[in-house]
Structures are given as structure tokens and as C-alpha cells.
């Protein structure tokens, strides 16, 4: 059995049940798992570990590529397995435990986790769980729908459990491009000079002696749930498409623009869809997550090529892609997340980065993660990898949240994920603020005028004008910089009564 | 005359006086000048421009590598020449004008300015003033004590004025390594894989048709003024040296560590000097400014090689270096600042970055620039280029400022230049906080315990504990997060009465 998926002789003997695999973990272990934005994650072993912990408790540090599917983080949280989690999550149960202080959470730039591991920021990884399509004869593994940090985990972990997912067609072989950043002090330059550069191998090198178990699964990825575009997100998309058309007209960019990156979520997805109708051609993507809209753009003929670290799509797209892998394989590549999110490559290629902000302040600082400066929403993800190094760093947000009780444009963000240095363009449904070449006082006027909702404009302008009178490069009145959050907390709305 | 410094035939005819050069500028021009941390700056033309403006006013945007020497920024400010200034400054007169709102200031990551120019963030550069040792027969120029953004300015400016500085010995030829990032969308990988890699040319390519004037000067750079080490800075240095010794002992690093970067100022300088007495060997530097301490380390035999963008030293060091250039040329290279501060190369090499913080908060966010969140001190400089991409990102600061009226450790920094993601180690004279692998709540305890001054510890701990009770990934009480600044403003001290 499984001869076609375990090409390395002798490894069949390591096939175990998820329950047996779960028994291999010990209290206080550092555990790594494949999985990036719900794709290519551990379907069986982590679930069995949560089950085991109900009778036989243990605590682990769990690191992944990014978020997991199948409510795995929630199950692990409920079973009290997690003492520490990194570098990203989106699970509501885990989120609550993080904000309660029950689970320690390290929110990391997704492009940095592998670097930090190699820089001794963590104890050694005891066990890595890696989903694979198959094990090659040389012991290397072909990943599935994501790569994430799997290549780094395979290199660094003491022991490895492989989950072979039999739902993944063999035709996925050849989709991946695996290259390692190498080890200090002799790390090479990675010669990726275009979204479609292929510079590595199609499987993850792995020392088969590390394998302590192989689990067979046949569960597909959790499907992405993408809210459909609405009036607001369509307005944001339209403004951005018009902006790019104007940049082309000015001769700043050609109709092929530069490689696109888009964050997750309905706004970013809606923006990507907006390119289908614009006057663009031979577009490329150098992004982290390839979403439904990526495949729409490919199918439309507007997009020539897409590079990412995962394919995270809704159910109908999943089916379409897997029935046509030979077709898409010439137009898509998956990379390790330290390559998809590499500062070097993002800057070299001149990526146009489009990410979602939770809130922006009048000087262009962005909060992507912390509600009222305190409670974690999801995590910074790759937004910092891209915005810091992009040719153009664009943040999109709706001008209002919670039915108007919250303004997404505030005097001073309650938590800074991206400083004004890393933010070129802010877009809301109200308008677009082009901050390039502007000093902070100029930025404030443009952001308030173009992006704030009319209900909050007068307040913001009043704050800025009074602060400016007191002076400074970035004028603030610290005694009232956060008063809108305090009002929100006390009265349920940022609006003045 | 000057046949030995103008090797391109016909260019002698372009020699003009500083006054004649100053007359070439028009109101509203975008002007670029060489100069990085007081080295290799325009000595004659910008001074003449300030003089001219007294009788014949004009306003310009002025961009440089980094700060200028010879009070040039102050003179230009007093003559009301500057409408906008970027990407860095340290001048007290200009600082005041910036904070008054009289001069617009764009504070930039020093490694990004050239990238931003190529990404159309600014109007075209009308005139670039570039200090040179000599003009080669092919029209290229050999820079002097810094490169800064000169290579990018030479490439991008419409017109160029060259200041030939006759105080610079010919033996400087060969010190520089010039390579361009190229232009979108076809930028190559820059193959620098060690501090001493040489990958480019020794002079800056330049189209001689752009030259509109050559000015001869014989003024040396303004000397660096470095405050001597004192008890506090020595304590910080000692703690850091002990930390590195421990990392070597743990097997994380060899005695050669990894390439070092150190910011400017007496703390960073003192730290570098601390390496002389430690048990290290074959050290290298991949930094931006090569200071007195760099040459002490080279002379001590501890440092094998230093890469930077400028040599900024005090008077006796200047003399020593220039009398021994043939010796130092094998141990030192100067690079364009988009290469010395390149995210790609800093991360590839695994640079150990040591920068100075104005203040840090209990979660590890750092303010490098804004006094009480509002008034600009100098600028972010290269600290963000290095801290984001470093193998180890270290920030040093004294625990107290203004005779104890200010605590450098605060509940929430009033301005964020570096987020907690980009800060691994904080050191004050009180102790060292190793934040690697810690979640925010863990970070707070270590920073307060190890780094805060005893006079402020109880207050900080009280804030953290009360905030933690309310909950959150990064617990804060927004209504009092800034109360120490308000107390400072109202009573002259952060101490409670």
C-alpha cells in the first residue's frame, strides 16, 4: 500500500495512526507544523493531539507557516495544549485565549520566522509535522497546497512526522520551487529576478532518519470563505484601478505594472478582481497567498504568472484548479515563505503591495493587528515584509467600522505595525491619499481630506490644527491623542455626543 | 591647472566659482547633494547658495545622503532656502525650523531614498552637487570620504555640479565599490556575500554632458565630535560584550560573531571600543558610518574588515587615516548607502545591529526620533534598515535622561520607529533584556526588571499589572499610557510628586 506515495524503500514500516503519532509528543516540546493560511496544514496529527490531551494533558509551543484550517487551533486551545503559539493565527477561540493571557502569542513577520529560528531565537524544534503529497526515493518530500515554513522545519527539526495526503493529485509535482536561505555566515544571494524565476528543487530535502512516523490522511484543506464584494469594497477597488491607470498614463509604470501582492480578505480580493476590467496586460503576482481572485485574473488572460506560498481558495476554485493542475503549473509557483516574503526579492522585483489596515492615523501610521491598541485580532502576517520593501505600499480600509461607531482614520493609531515610512498610499471608499514625497504635516491634510468619513473629518482636522499650533514634525496632543478610543470604550462610539 | 584631477578632456572649461555655481539654481528646484554624516558633502556650492539667497531669495527641496557638515544646513535654513529637506539632518537651527513647521522634513530610511527616487516618489532632480576626488577620462567620478546617494543622484539628476576637493589624496582611488540597484523591472541580485565582497567599480558612472559646472575646493570634512565614554556608556558596553561572550559560549556564534553595525553616538562608539578587550577574533563590520572606534578595532587586530558608506572621524583619526590610506584600503570599503543599508544584504550576511534608542516601551517598541512624540530630534537614519533585517537587533539607551527627569523606559513610546518585531535586545546601564522568543507580556517583565531605572520600576510594573488585568495581547490602559509625558510637560519631570 501507498507504494506510489512512499518511494523511499523501507519507510512504509513507519506508517502509524494519528493516535499513535499523538502519543509521540511530550510535555513542553517545541512543535512545528506545515500549514499556511489554512492550506497544507496537519489534518490528522494535531487533531489527534488535541484529543489525546483531554485524557493525557501536555503543553507545547506550536509554530506553523501561518494559520491552520479545520478549527485545529481552536481544538488545541480548548484542550489546553498550547502554551505558546507563533507566528500567526486567525482562530476565534485561540484569539480569546491569547487576549486573556492564557496562551502566549508571538506575532511575527511571516518572512522572518525561518530566519529567527536560524538565529537561535527559539529552542530546537523537537518534532515537525509536515503534510506531503509523496516521499521521493531520496527522502525528500513534495509539499501539497502550501510550503510555508516546511522547508526550514524539515531542516531544523530533530524529528519529523509526515502526513501524506492522498487527496492531492500527483500532478502537483513540479509546482513548488524550494530553495534554502542557507546558514550563517555563508548565505548565498538568491537569484530570483522575476515572479516566474525557478531557482530550486521541486521537493523539500529531508534526512529520512529524522522520520519517526508517517500518517496517511485523505482530508482536503478547509475552504477559504471570502465575503463577496460590496459597494464599499468595489469603491475602493475602483479608486485603486483608476490610480494605476493614471500611473501608466504618467509613464511611471507600463500596462504590466510591477509584480502585485495582495493581502487576504474581501477588500484585497475585490481590488484584485478590479484589475480584470482595467486596461492592463501581462500582469504578474509576487504574493504570499494565491486566492480565488488570482485564478480569475489568470483565467481572464490579464495575469501571466503568480508566485505565492499557498493556494487558499474556496471550494469551487479548489476543484477547478486540481482538475487543471497541468495547465496552472506553467503559470503558478509556490515558494517557502521566507522566499515569497523575502525583503531582498520584494525590493528587487519592485512589488506593488496591497494590504488591509485595521486603522490608519492622520500621519500615515498603520495598525493591522490590535483592537484599541490592546487586543490581538489575527497578526501582522506578511504585511510588514511587503510594505517595508515594496515599490508601492498601499493600505486599504473602509473608513468606518461597527456601523459608524468607529472611524478607521484616527489622530494616532493605538498600535503601530507599519510606520509612516512604510506607507505610500491609503485608500478608503471615500478616496485615495497619495503620500509619496509628503512630509507628515502634508500627509495629515491629504489623509483627512481624502480618506476620512465625513462624519469624523471635522474632529480630525480640529485635532490636527490645534496640535500643529503647538508645533513639531509630527504634531500631537498626547493628552487627547487616544480620546476617541476612550470615548468608544465608555460610550460605545467614537462619535462625540 | 587641475590636469591631474580632471582627466576628461575639455571639462576644464567648465570650472566656475562657487558664486557662479550658486547662480545656476532657480526657485523651486529639486536639488541633491553628496554628503553622508558630515563626510563628502558640498563645501562650497551650498554655502554660496545660502549667501546668494540673502540678496536673491529662492526656495529649494534639498536631498542628501545624510547629514551635512560645516553648519551648511543651518546656513541654508537661516537664509530661508529650504522648503523641504530629506532624508536626514542633525542641525540645531534646521531642527528648530522643522519643528516650527517652517521647513518640511521627510525622515527616511537611509537605505530607501534611492529606491524611492526610482519609484517616482519625487519630481526629477534638477541639479546634483557631487564632491569628487577627481574626474576620470570616461567622465566617471571618484568620490571622497563618503558615497551616500551620489551614485543614484549622478544617474537620476538632469544636471550636475562637481566639487573637486583637492585636500583628498589620490590614494583614495580604489577605496570605493560602486554598484547600482538597476532599474525596474529588471533589477539584478547584488552578489555581496561578505563584508569584504567587491562587486562594482571604483568610480561613479556619470554622463559628462550633464555637467554644468566644476568647482574647486580645498576644505576638509567637518570633524566628528564624539563624547568620551563615561561610566554609563561603559556599563552598557560591558553588558553587551558579556552577552556576546555568552552567545559564543553557547555555540550560537563563533568568536568572529557576524558582521557588526553600530549607529552613531557615544553609546554605540563605546560599545564598539568594548570589543577590543573581549575574546573575539576576525571580526567584520557591515555598517553605514565608519567611526573612530572602527579604526581602533582595525588597529587592534580584532577587526579584519569594515564596510560602510562614509568615514566620519575626529581630527586626529582623519589625519592618521589619510596618511595611511594604502594600508587601510585593504581593510575598508565604501559603498552607496542603498548597498550599505540594503535589506537584502543585511539579512543575507546576518548583521548584528547596534543602534541607539531615544526611548523604549515595556513591550519593546522603540522611538528613535521624536521627543514626546512630536518634536524631531535628528531622524531615523539607517536604524530601521538594520534593525528590521538584522540577525540580532540591539538597542542601547541610558535608563535616564535630563538628570533623571525622564525615564527612557516608558509604558508606551510616544512615537514608534521600530516595532517590537524588530527589537531583539535592549540594553541600559541597568541591565540587558533578551527579548528573543518572548511574547509581549513576557517582554514587559524582562524589560522593566532588567532595563528600567530603579526610580521608575515600581510605576512601570504597576501600569503593566493593572493593564494586564484588563487583558490583551499587548495590555495597555490608553487613558494613562502617555501620562508620564503629560506629567513631564506640566511639572518638568516624569516622576510622581
pLDDT in tens, B57-100: 999 999 999 999 999 999 999 999 999 999 999 999 999 999 99
CB contact under 8 A, B471 and A421: no
Mutate which of B412, B418, B470, B472 to test chain A, going by most A C-beta atoms within 10 A? Answer: B472
Contact B341, B385 (CB under 8 A): yes
pLDDT of residue B399: 97
d(CA B46, nearest CA chain A) in Å: 22
Choose among A101, A365, A421: nearest Cβ to B108: A421
Q: Please give the share of chain A, as a percent, with pLDDT higher than 90.
A: 94
Q: Is the pLDDT of residue A313 over 90?
A: yes
pLDDT of residue A42: 98
Provide DSSP, B81-117.
-EEEEES----HHHHHHHHHTSSEE----TTTHHHHH
B219's grid cell: 576644505
Just list the catalytic residues of A: 288
Distances in Å between the Cα of A162 and the Cα atoms of A34, A42, B202 are 10, 9, 52
pLDDT of residue A212: 98
What is d(CA A478, CA A467) in angstroms, rounded to the nearest whole number? 9
Q: Is B41 helix (H, G, I), strand (E, B) or coil?
A: coil
pLDDT of residue A332: 98
What is the CB neighbour count within 10 angstroms for residue A397?
A: 24
Choose among B380, B467, B471: nearest Cβ to A100: B471
What is d(CA A410, CA B117) in angstroms, rounded to the nearest whole number? 29
Q: Which residue of B has its CA nearest to A341?
A: B344
Whose cell is 534608542? That residue is: B357
B-chain residues within 8 Å CB-CB of A414?
Answer: 476, 478
Q: Which residue of B has its CA nearest to A338?
A: B347
pLDDT under 70 in chain B at which residues? 1
CB contact under 8 A, B473 and A192: no
CB contact under 8 A, A476 and B374: yes
Choose among B84, B471, B473: nearest Cβ to A105: B473
What is d(CA A21, CA A13) in angstroms, rounded to the nearest whole number? 14
pLDDT of residue A3: 86
Mutate which of A112, A367, A393, A472 to test chain B, going by most B C-beta atoms within 10 A? Answer: A472
Intra-chain end-to-end CA distance of chain A, in Å:
70
CB contact under 8 A, A474 and B376: yes
Q: Is the pLDDT of residue A497 over 80?
A: no
A-chain residues within 8 Å CB-CB of B106?
Answer: 437-439
Please give the interface size between A and B, counted as residue pairs whose CB atoms are below 8 Å apart.
229
Whose cell is 551616500? That residue is: B148
pLDDT of residue B325: 95
pLDDT of residue B398: 95
Picking from A101, A113, A71, A116, the residue whose alpha carbon sits closest to that of residue A89 is A71
- Mean pLDDT computed over A190-213: 97
A329 confidence band (pLDDT: 50, 70, 90)? very high
Chain A contacts in chain B segment 327-386 (CB below 8 A): 342-345, 347-350, 365, 369-370, 372-376, 380, 384
Q: Does B391 touch chain A (CB under 8 A)?
A: yes
Distances in Å between the Cα of A210 and the Cα atoms of A1, A65, A400, B321 are 22, 20, 51, 54
Contact B372, B406 (CB under 8 A): no
Task: Spell out the residues 6+ positions from residue A30 whose beta carbon is closer than 8 angstroms to its own.
Answer: A60, A61, A63, A122, A123, A124, A125, A126
pLDDT of residue A2: 85
Q: Does B249 touch chain A (CB under 8 A)?
A: no
What is d(CA B269, CA B370) in angstroms, rounded to the nearest whole number? 22
Distances in Å between the Cα of B100 and the Cα atoms of A399, B93, B104, B105 are 31, 11, 10, 11
pLDDT in tens, A4-51: 999 999 999 999 999 999 999 999 999 999 999 999 999 999 999 999
Q: Is B490 a catalytic residue?
A: no
pLDDT in tens, B122-136: 999 999 999 999 999
Chain B contacts in chain A segment 183-222 (CB below 8 A): 184-194
B222's grid cell: 567637518
Alpha helices by DSSP H, A68-218 = 72-78, 92-100, 113-118, 150-156
pLDDT in tens, B186-229: 999 999 999 999 999 999 999 999 999 999 999 999 999 878 88
Q: Which residue of B has its CA nearest to A124?
A: B437
Determine which one of B288, B359, B420, B429 is catalytic: B288
To the nearest 10°, report the CA torsion of B249, B255, B257, B263. Answer: 100
CB contact under 8 A, B421 and A108: yes
What is d(CA B358, CA B267) in angstroms, rounded to the nearest whole number? 12
What is d(CA B232, CA A276) in angstroms, rounded to the nearest whole number? 61
Q: Which residue of B has its CA nearest to A486?
A: B479
CB contact under 8 A, B392 and A119: yes
> For the whole model, what pTM was predicted?
0.97
Backbone angles phi, psi at A262, to 5 degrees: -135, 135
- How does DSSP classify residue B480? T
Choose among A119, A194, A252: nearest Cβ to B120: A252
Amino acid at each position: 500500500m501507498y507504494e506510489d506515495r512512499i518511494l523511499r524503500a523501507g519507510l512504509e514500516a513507519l506508517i502509524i495512526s494519528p493516535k499513535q503519532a499523538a502519543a509521540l509528543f511530550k510535555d513542553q516540546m517545541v512543535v512545528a507544523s506545515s500549514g499556511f493560511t489554512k492550506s497544507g496544514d496537519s489534518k490528522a496529527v494535531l487533531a489527534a493531539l488535541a484529543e489525546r490531551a483531554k485524557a493525557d494533558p501536555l503543553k507545547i509551543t506550536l509554530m506553523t507557516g501561518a494559520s491552520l484550517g479545520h478549527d485545529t487551533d481552536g481544538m488545541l486551545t480548548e484542550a489546553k495544549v498550547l502554551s505558546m503559539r507563533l507566528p500567526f493565527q486567525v482562530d476565534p477561540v485561540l484569539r480569546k485565549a491569547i487576549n486573556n493571557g492564557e496562551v502566549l502569542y508571538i506575532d511575527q513577520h511571516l518572512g522572518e520566522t525561518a530566519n529567527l529560528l536560524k538565529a537561535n531565537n527559539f529552542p530546537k524544534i523537537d518534532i515537525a509535522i509536515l503534510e506531503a503529497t509523496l516521499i521521493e526515493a531520496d527522502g525528500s518530500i513534495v509539499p501539497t497546497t502550501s510550503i510555508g515554513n516546511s522547508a526550514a522545519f524539515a531542516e531544523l527539526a530533530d524529528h519529523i512526522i509526515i502526513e501524506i495526503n492522498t487527496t492531492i493529485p500527483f500532478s502537483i509535482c513540479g509546482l513548488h520551487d524550494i530553495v534554502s536561505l542557507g546558514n550563517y555566515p555563508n548565505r548565498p544571494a538568491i537569484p530570483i529576478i522575476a515572479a516566474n524565476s525557478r531557482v530550486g528543487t521541486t521537493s523539500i530535502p529531508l534526512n529520512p532518519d529524522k522520520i519517526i512516523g508517517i500518517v496517511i490522511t485523505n482530508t482536503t484543506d478547509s475552504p477559504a470563505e471570502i465575503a463577496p464584494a460590496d459597494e464599499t469594497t468595489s469603491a475602493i477597488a475602483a479608486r485603486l484601478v483608476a490610480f494605476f491607470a493614471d500611473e501608466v498614463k504618467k509613464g511611471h509604470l507600463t500596462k504590466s505594472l510591477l509584480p502585485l501582492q495582495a493581502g487576504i480578505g474581501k477588500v484585497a480580493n475585490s481590488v484584485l478582481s478590479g484589475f480584470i476590467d482595467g486596461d492592463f496586460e501581462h500582469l504578474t503576482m509576487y504574493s504570499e497567498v494565491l486566492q480565488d481572485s488570482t485564478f480569475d485574473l489568470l483565467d481572464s488572460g490579464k495575469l501571466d504568472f503568480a508566485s505565492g506560498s499557498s493556494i487558499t481558495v474556496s471550494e469551487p476554485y479548489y476543484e477547478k484548479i486540481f482538475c487543471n493542475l497541468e495547465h496552472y503549473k506553467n503559470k503558478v509557483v509556490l515558494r517557502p515563505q521566507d522566499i515569497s516574503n523575502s525583503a531582498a526579492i520584494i525590493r528587487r522585483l519592485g512589488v506593488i503591495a496591497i494590504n488591509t489596515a485595521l486603522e490608519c492615523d492622520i500621519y500615515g501610521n498603520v495598525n493591522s493587528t490590535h483592537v484599541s491598541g490592546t487586543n490581538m485580532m489575527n497578526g501582522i502576517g506578511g504585511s510588514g515584509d511587503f510594505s517595508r520593501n515594496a515599490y508601492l505600499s498601499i493600505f486599504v480600509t473602509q473608513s468606518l467600522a461597527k456601523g459608524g461607531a468607529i472611524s478607521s482614520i484616527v489622530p494616532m493609531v493605538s498600535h503601530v505595525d507599519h510606520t509612516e515610512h512604510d506607507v505610500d498610499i491609503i485608500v478608503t471608499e471615500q478616496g485615495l491619499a497619495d503620500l509619496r514625497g509628503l512630509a507628515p504635516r502634508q500627509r495629515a491634510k491629504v489623509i483627512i481630506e481624502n480618506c476620512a468619513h465625513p462624519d469624523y473629518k471635522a474632529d480630525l482636522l480640529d485635532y490636527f490644527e490645534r496640535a500643529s499650533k503647538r508645533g513639531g514634525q509630527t504634531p500631537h496632543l498626547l493628552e487627547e491623542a487616544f480620546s476617541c478610543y476612550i470615548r468608544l470604550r465608555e460610550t460605545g462610539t467614537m462619535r462625540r455626543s
